[in-house]
Amino acid sequence: MARILIPTPLRQFVEKLDTVEADGATVGEVLAALTTRFPNLKKQLYNDEGKLRSFVNVYLNDDDIRYLQKDATSVAATDTLSIVPSIAGGLI
């Protein structure tokens, strides 16, 4: 069971929990278990094509999974996954 930290605005989709535990040997499996249990969360994280939304980053402990093995990154029971947005902007 890995821990997934849920950002405040998404807690309404996971029965108001701030942390959820889910099974899986890889990041992809843990996220699949999470979004199967909470289908409304899936719409927040994934677009209609089933891809993670452009502003959604997933961190395994302190590392962005894009710089690890992405969905195939191994997850241990002591690991923590975080959902972190990409945010930027400009005047025009």
Partner 1 sequence: MITVERKPWREMVNHAQATYPNECCGAMIGTIVSGPDGDVKTVIHALALDNASAGPQAARYELRPEDLLRADRQARELKMDLIGIYHSHPDCDAYFSETDLKNSCPWYSFIVLSIQKGQYHHANSWLPNAEQTHAEKEELQWPES
Helix (H, G, I), strand (E, B) or coil at 6: coil
50 binds Zn ion (CB under 5 A): no
32 contacts 43 by C-beta, under 8 angstroms: no
Window of 2-10, 28-36, 68-76 that interacts with partner 1 by CB under 8 A: 2-10
8 binds partner 1 (CB under 8 A): yes
Name which of partner 1, Zn ion, none residue 76 binds, using a CB cut-off of 5 to 8 Å depending on partner kind.
none
- CB closer to Zn ion out of 66 and 85: 85
51 binds partner 1 (CB under 8 A): no
85 contacts 56 by C-beta, under 8 angstroms: yes
- Kindly write out the interface string for residues 53-92 of this chain, putting x where it contacts Zn ion by CB under 5 A and - elsewhere: ------------------------------------x---
- Residues of span 10-39 touching partner 1 by CB under 8 A: 10, 18
Residues forming a β-bridge with 59: 64, 82
